[in-house]
Structure 1
């Protein structure tokens, strides 16, 4: 049941609660459906012209004499646009127009899904923006330049970056004035196959949700990845351009405010993806006006090996002066698009919900403390998780830890999975916020110095409990994609770099 719930939530952009009961509806005009010509499809499975279809929600009173800003919206992977009157009631009541569109391959739009490729989905967004700019009731800052924001989660967050960066690549600037992406990615390759190890459970779920939307590359790549346990070169190439990481590597930055809302216990697009966007995809000026808010939720399939924990919820918006995330988002958009006074705090900082239910606000998520550990020996391919003690509580962590060690492996394509955990002893230690990350050695390795990324976390560990390093040869998020041959991995001269804040 939890798997079904998680997939349903993903397909409908989990976390975006914008609907209002019909009794609360104001007298906004009836939404209008329309389509524009998108980029023609080149995939051999469905070549030819493509329409990108959308529904326009105009707020009451908006006219050529009283122009208003507009928010773009799109749904999660496998979903379709919102068409029902009253669905965006809070935004319309606040004075925003909304345009909800189907991304290519979904809903009423044609073509195949290229999963955020700027040459396809990015160009499609540009053409939708052109239509928005043509509406006489839309406020503009210049010719063909609407006052424009964006909302949506998961795949509905990905289009925001795809459209904005596609414009920057073409013209040096974007017509978006503010973004509010939720539970989305920086790099799809890093998310779907960190270290080239396929995140099997999620990749299978995503593939199964929308088989008819896939390109021929996706069909072939999925089959190869499941068979070999390796991320195919064709998939790496297919996804390489499809996220902020590609653009930031090319020197492009967003110079607009962005509200990033990311699930720390999300085991598809974990917190590190939002941190990468906050740290690398924004100019210093934009970051000073932006916020990163981490919560326990998002894409959360259950994990059993190794077992983890996180108190579900979203504790940080109230600490920033909002009544909840929806209120925080609306205030953020109002201050940046409507000129409303700044009534929320915490701009330019990371606000992370702890696994235990609190909220920690920090200026940096980099490691600040180093701890030495004894040698670690783990089996490869088969075996049970082990927990190695790092430190005793009380302490608070908020950020991105790393591990450094001299690594030796005895076997071909050895893989082990790493995380931080807490408990009263190694026997009851549970992984903080459910996430693990793999480390992979393609061949036999003898004492090679490695830096291993650990999952980004936030946790408050009280007195009487301890912090552990969990190392496991298998993980159910990477089912059947452990080591290719039995063997062992030995870590010597081990240090863990921790983002300790208290």
Structure 2
């Protein structure tokens, strides 16, 4: 099926998107008051998937109170891992009162829907979602866009082009990307007009096993809550990663190449007929938790910078806040921060975003049109443009001396025990974004794993991980004595380093988010030529 998807042409994207943009400017989300309103309605329906297995997808349709003959836009919503649709009208009352229809979707392998979970595979969940939109397009009370003759939605089998938004978090963010991008892959255009994905992924591999080190804490939880509901190859891959600390990459006979498969189960893996990355040209409100230790902020950054066209980025917002998937973690010790001080995750903001998207308004409706809205761990709201950030600011720890050893201030070079913290800079300093690390590593041992993070404190002894996130690095095979050059990203963060505090690079041999799979053998790892590049807010 995937080969068939990739063989279809995308030449009609420009004309379809241009027609959609013109039609959207004429639409309003609020039904007319000229007619006598009818009572709002809610009803259950089953949609037959377009996938080869033809399973049933269970949905709940909520129709707002509206006048006879009126039409309204529709918002899609779906659940997180292990959830199901909502049948309670109160769950969507605010959207219905604002004049939207809502369709709540139970994804395959969940609730009353059939099949097993494929974790947002375009050949399965992608075709499921297209079938749901086909059904919505056939409802006479749903607003439609006018179509050009060569529009892919002029095909009677597709039912037209409904005015459509989508929202949801985690797995409920993944379905939005698989719908819009699978339509782009199949037809060269998408019927989704605006999206608000929260705490979801760009690439399942970098999320579940960054640098090929499985997130054992999260894989254990995901496996334990859905082992009998996922396709067997996924269940086996999760179990293998939990047990061994190795990622199922096709090198073990009889074990499916989960790494290659999951590369296509998110925005990072969508390509067109020529093998080029597919981009979406629709406004988005992308929200992600800095203290999320499953889908870290880097996933949202990649969706904003790599999945959207430049024109779409000019109409979109990226909001980082303190929250999301956050299992308790204490090693290395850190702090999470709390809340969203920029109001980017509120239902009021989300509905205002959809109002603007469907009526030709300003979809950057927070903070006078800035693209970035980040809540620091100390709960300050940063409203930033690219011009406000020095993306090239670099820092080198002074404790790494020219001979390549870690100086006595860090307690020596041993990496067999406690974390070490290397001072990078003294406050005041404000960080906002995704830092990068480059270094040469050397030492002893086999299949070593190190965990890097940025921390702050008044000394190395009390430095704590900012927003509770670490990034692993795996040195497969023997650790070279002559040095292994690495370049890697650290977890995205937002924080202010005050006067009297310092910013540190903390390196740990273990992390409880990757329990059981830290450094493999006793020994040490030293570093030379260490540089950390940190997006730094430019002082006024």
Question: Is the shorter-chain TM-score for this pair beyond 0.5, marking a shared fold?
Answer: yes
Q: CA deviation at 1:366?
A: 6.7
The residue aligned with 1:59 is: 64
Q: 1:458 aligns with which of 491, 494, 500?
A: 494
| Cα contact 1:77–1:155 (8 A) shared by 2 | yes
Unaligned 5+ runs, structure 2: 1-36, 147-153, 155-159, 250-256, 401-405, 407-411
Instruction: Report how far residue 227 of structure 1 moved.
Output: 2.2
Aligned to 1:353: 375
Contact 2:223 2:239 survives alignment (8 Å): no
CA spacing shift, 1:261–1:442, aligned 2, 3 Å: same
How far apart are the structure 2 equivalents of 1:93 and 1:119?
36
Q: Does 1:424 align with 2:458?
A: yes
In the alignment, which residue of structure 2 is the partner of 1:108? 112
1:409 alignment counterpart: 443
Specify which of 142, 162, 178 is matched with residue 162 of structure 1: 178
> Match of 2:332, SS?
coil
The structure 1 residue matched to 2:338, chosen from 299, 312, 316, is 312
Q: Deviations over 1:457-486 (max 9, x none)?
A: 100111011111111000000001112322
Q: Structure 2 CA distance, aligned partners of 1:462 and 1:109?
A: 52
Q: Aligned residues, how many?
A: 464
Structural mapping, 1:45-124, within 5 Å = 48-61=53-66, 63=68, 65-124=69-128
Name the structure 2 match of 1:321. none
Give CA deviations for 1:164-201 in whole Å, capped at 9, x if unaligned: 00000011111000000001000111000000001010
- Residue in structure 1 matched with residue 188 of structure 2 by the alignment: 172
What is residue 427 of structure 2 aligned with on the other side? 393
Q: Please tell me whether the aligned partners of residues 166 and 176 of structure 2 are also in contact (alpha carbons under 8 angstroms).
A: yes
Aligned equivalents of 2:366 and 2:420: distance in 1? Answer: 43
The aligned residue for residue 473 of structure 2 is 439
How far 1:414 moved relative to its partner?
A: 1.0
Which residue matches 1:32? Answer: 43
Cα shift at 1:363? 2.8
SS in 2 for 1:422: strand
The aligned residue for residue 31 of structure 2 is: none
Q: How far apart are the structure 2 equivalents of 1:211 and 1:450?
A: 35
CA 1:62 to 1:221, structure 2 compared with 1: closer, same or farther past 3 Å?
Answer: farther
Give yes or no for the alignment of 1:273 onto 2:299: yes
Query: Hey, what does 1:147 align to over in structure 2?
Result: 163
Q: 3-state DSSP class of the match of 1:54?
A: strand
Show the 5 A alignment for 1:216-295: 216-233=232-249, 234-247=257-270, 250-295=276-321
In structure 2, what is the equivalent of residue 497 of structure 1? 533
Residues 218 and 242 of structure 1, relative CA distance in 2, 3 Å threshold: same
Q: Deviations over 1:241-294 (max 9, x none)?
A: 011111278320000001001101100001100000000000011110000011
Deviations 1:313-364 (A, max 9, x none): 101127xxxxx62211110011112456765445461211101000112334
Deviation larger for 333-342 or 422-431 = 333-342
Tell me if structure 2 keeps the 8 A contact 1:62–1:68: no
- In the alignment, the residues of structure 2 paired with residue 69 and residue 422 of structure 1 have an alpha-carbon distance, to the nearest angstrom, of 47
Task: Give the Cα separation in 2 of the matches to 1:28 and 1:409.
Answer: 72
Structure 1 residues 257, 414: closer, same or farther in 2, change over 3 A?
same
Query: Unaligned 5+ residue runs, structure 1?
Result: 1-25, 42-47, 319-323
Cα distance change, pair 158–67 in 1 and its aligned pair in 2 (3 A): same
1:378/1:472 contact within 8 Å kept: no
Larger radius of gyration, structure 1 or 2? 2
User: What is the TM-score with the length of structure 1 in the denominator?
Assistant: 0.89
Partner Cα distance (2:235, 2:103) in 1: 31
Pairing 1:177-192 to 2, within 5 Å after superposition:
177-192=193-208
The residue that corresponds to 2:509 in the other structure is 473
Deviation at 1:29, TM superposition (A): 2.2
CA contact (8 A) 1:291 1:346 kept: no
Equivalents in 1 of 2:395, 2:202: separation in Å? 29
Mean CA deviation greater in 183-192 or 333-342 = 333-342
Pairwise CA distance, 1:92: 0.6
Tell me the alpha carbon deviations over residues 374-431 of structure 1, each in whole angstroms, 9 at most, x when there is no partner.
3247545x41111111111111000111111111131111110000000111111110
- Structure 2: how far apart are the matches of 1:260 and 1:40? 28
Distance in 2, matches of 1:402 and 1:170, equals 36
Shift of 1:69: 0.3
2:453 partner SS: strand
Question: C-alpha separation between the residues in 2 aligned to 1:36 and 1:487?
Answer: 58
Question: Which has the higher mean CA deviation after the structures are superposed, 27-36 or 254-263?
Answer: 27-36
